[in-house]
Structure 1
């Protein structure tokens, strides 16, 4: 298949009996989200609609996804250009994970932060390593997880999503499972995922697609929240004060509250 032989700069992709394994692979950047990652993942998921019934989204052994690429933001800000991306493509990517005609499984090892939690919350099932941690660090830099929250609230409820946002504290895999963000937590996720897929492979692609289409009609919250989520994202990532803090953090490693 042509789409499997394409050269992706941010992903590793393989298809195994209608199960597509998609590994985010930006090791030097902690799997941070940039425009190319969004474009590559969107293209793969679009092709999966015709060729896959299950999509397994993975990261690296020590980091699933660290959120927005601050270096990319710093580069645009220092260059005098628009420092924020259009959040629409990322939101639409998460919608595709949540509502596409395939089952989506997040395989989480290591750290899932900020937008990384968005990927997790958008998936149908989440298999997590016992040592994985989940966090929303945005408020530390004056921004907010505006686009993450509709997906996270759907998963764990408004009160817990609010607590994660306001405290910015990491949540353990065990706590995430108790809250409903994680479905299966195990020390050996490779074995756990393999056993889970043995059963899920029996499902017909048409049955999965029909169920996902029906499930979307039961909950219109994600589509309804999109305009406000995008507007809030643009607002906080257009604020020069926030952008200066992000650029300084990338350059010096100092947080906004630390003296120069």
Structure 2
């Protein structure tokens, strides 16, 4: 199959999904969400391991603000629920999900990381939530991030807005393992993970989902909050000024 926003390859039982929007810093648009969802549907039957990657410089820089601006100006509905559902599939699906992070990860990119079962990074990895600078906040990311690193650390990262390095992310539990040659580290993990039966992974993850159902319970609130954020006129004005004129909110 041909993909517009991804590079996908299957090396059974592994599926590699690489974000492929280099001109937009691998930001998230509706096509990327739908293509990821389509690949995950294939993986449900075929793969026991799903690996998400970006480029060596940027894993994923969050929402494509240009698309947000275009959608609102054309009065098209914003659909955050499909992104939340994608992250739920990563968390609860019958496969081990791995984010292999190099370079910058921001905003919604942190959502992909937080939704993953395992996070492997190199020494260049940096993680940030910049939304509050635009009057937004990471409503969709926070249920997954809080589940992974705890309330106060997610709260601090949201308020801080600039990044934390891979060492701090590892200390907080956002990153499970890192080293300079992360490809080698990834291969070491795959040596063991590929031995896990797919049926066992499915039963285990179903059990873990039952132990902690906060992500399901948080969906409606997160989606509603996100819709309010991206329909607020002041927020849209700040996004418009940035997209059209390159003016950051604190500059205007």
**TM-score > 0.5 by shorter chain:** yes
Q: SS of the residue aligned with 1:12?
A: strand
User: Who is 1:182 aligned against?
Assistant: 175
Matched, 1:22 2:33: no
Segments ≥4 residues shifted beyond 3 Å: none
Q: SS of the residue aligned with 2:16?
A: strand
User: Who is 2:198 aligned against?
Assistant: 205
> In the aligned structure 2, how far is the partner of 1:192 from the partner of 1:183?
11
Indicate conservation of the 8 Å contact 2:120/2:186, yes or no: yes
Instruction: Report the alpha carbon displacement of residue 181 of structure 1 after superposing the two structures with TM.
Output: 0.3
Q: SS of the residue aligned with 2:247?
A: coil
Q: 2:146 aligns with which of 145, 148, 153?
A: 153
Q: CA RMSD in A?
A: 1.0
Instruction: Report the alpha carbon displacement of residue 251 of structure 1 after superposing the two structures with TM.
Output: 2.0
Note the residue ranges of structure 2 that are not aligned, 5 or more in a row.
none
User: Who is 2:184 aligned against?
Assistant: 191
Q: SS of the residue aligned with 2:28?
A: coil
In the TM superposition, what whole-angstrom CA distance separates every residue of 1:90-148 from its partner, at most 9, and x where no partner exists? 00000000000000000001111000000000000000111110000000001110010
> In the aligned structure 1, how far is the partner of 2:228 from the partner of 2:69?
17
In the TM superposition, what whole-angstrom CA distance separates every residue of 1:31-75 from its partner, at most 9, and x where no partner exists? 110000000000000110100000011111110000000111222
Number of residue pairs matched by the alignment? 252
> In the aligned structure 2, how far is the partner of 1:17 from the partner of 1:256?
46
User: Who is 1:142 aligned against?
Assistant: 135
Indicate conservation of the 8 Å contact 2:71/2:78, yes or no: no
| Alignment TM-score, normalising by the size of structure 2 | 0.98
User: Who is 2:242 aligned against?
Assistant: 249
User: Who is 1:11 aligned against?
Assistant: 6
> In the aligned structure 2, how far is the partner of 1:126 from the partner of 1:257?
33
Indicate conservation of the 8 Å contact 1:21/1:57, yes or no: yes
Matched, 1:49 2:44: yes
Indicate conservation of the 8 Å contact 2:12/2:46, yes or no: no
| Alignment TM-score, normalising by the size of structure 1 | 0.95
The 5 A counterparts of 1:76-225 are: 76-77=71-72, 79-82=73-76, 85-225=78-218
Q: Mean Cα displacement is larger for which, 119-128 or 244-253?
A: 244-253
> In the aligned structure 2, how far is the partner of 1:50 from the partner of 1:17?
11
> In the aligned structure 2, how far is the partner of 1:33 from the partner of 1:17?
27
> In the aligned structure 2, how far is the partner of 1:61 from the partner of 1:26?
13
